[in-house]
Structure 1
């Protein structure tokens, strides 16, 4: 992420400040700037990612565990729980993107269930397409107040890793993409639930 000039000095809004955890207030004060919090979030995300990838590699975290909406809530809480009170909690307010908050829990359960069933029975998706299906579905629902992008990308990375053949060279997604094309393909997924075009668009790199 490239921060605009002056971004680091921009304080968070009063609304955002009210959602800081007591721990975050002790560390950063009542009015931290956006860059401080972004850097803290990124550092936590790096630690969480490494720890969960290690659990997958050691066989302590299986694909079946990841293909569960409860895991997404736990993942979101791990990423943001030290800083924000909304971590791991589905949003209760309307948003300009995503579905009606009243339907989030049911849609998440159904979405994960459908994807898991298709992976286990249809056999027409690759590991790369499975991870992207989970990402696109959770982006479509937009379950949380904030942090949806980072959480759903990491979830996709973990699912992709867990679903790969252990005899091959492991790959991960390259999320540095053209944003306009990416959004167009996400919208196509919303219509047809086909992750293949988006999976073909998002390249992969060897781990």
Structure 2
């Protein structure tokens, strides 16, 4: 069942247990999956225009993921239960997520950084936590876009292309994330506006 679902570099590999959670029976390849997820993400984006409540709450984080991927995956909006190639250990995800959201609310109120940096720091830390089995990058980029808009800025452009597919743009994004892991957020800030 995993044949045809090759992951681009830096992506969390889908395991058989996650693939069993596919809802549409017509999905048989990575291309089919990307198309189904993209359509679902557009519906999730529309949902954000109607959503109410704090965008920096655990409930919102989970609900947004469900809105973005719930037509494709049964487990959408559910914290992952297995270790992955990156991310916090499963039993530490909720505490790490709560701590990040508390910190991000403080950033939102106190503005210790420029607004782009606040949103990119949220994105980066969410990527480190990696709360879901799949879709973390797309989810966390949208979280950053929503926060920067709430703070009065424009949504990020994230290279102006699809970051799901392997290629030089995705490699630049992964490199910027790794630099941020090492404490240098400048490349990720630049990439977000590229």
Contact 1:138 1:152 (C-alpha < 8 Å) held by counterparts: yes
Which protein is bigger by CA-based radius of gyration? 1
Residue in structure 2 matching 1:98, options 48, 68, 87: 87
Give, in angstroms, the shift of residue 149 of structure 1. Answer: 1.0
TM-score, structure 2 as length reference: 0.77
Distance 1:70-1:191 versus aligned 2 partners, 3 A rule: farther
Distance in 2, Cα, partners of 1:14 & 1:187: 24
How far, CA to CA, are the matches of 1:161 and 1:190 in structure 2? Answer: 25
Q: 5+ unaligned residues in a row in structure 1: which ranges?
A: 1-8, 165-169
Is 2:158–2:191's contact at 8 Å kept on the other side of the alignment? no
Q: 158, 168, 190: which is aligned to 2:181?
A: 190
Distance in structure 1 (CA, Å) of the matches to 2:109 and 2:146: 17
CA distance in 1, matches of 2:147, 2:85: 28
**Counterpart in the other structure of 2:56:** 67
How many matched pairs?
176
CA shift for structure 1 position 190 = 3.1
Over aligned residue pairs, what C-alpha RMSD do you find? 2.7
Q: Is the 8 A contact 1:119 1:125 kept in 2?
A: no
Correspondence 1:145 to 2:121: no
Q: TM-score, normalising length from structure 1?
A: 0.73
- CA distance, structure 2, for counterparts of residue 127 and residue 196 of structure 1: 14
Cα distance per residue 1:148-178 (max 9 Å; x no partner): 11111111111111111xxxxx522111284
Give the Cα–Cα distance (whole angstroms) in 2 for the partners of residues 80 and 107 of structure 1. Answer: 22
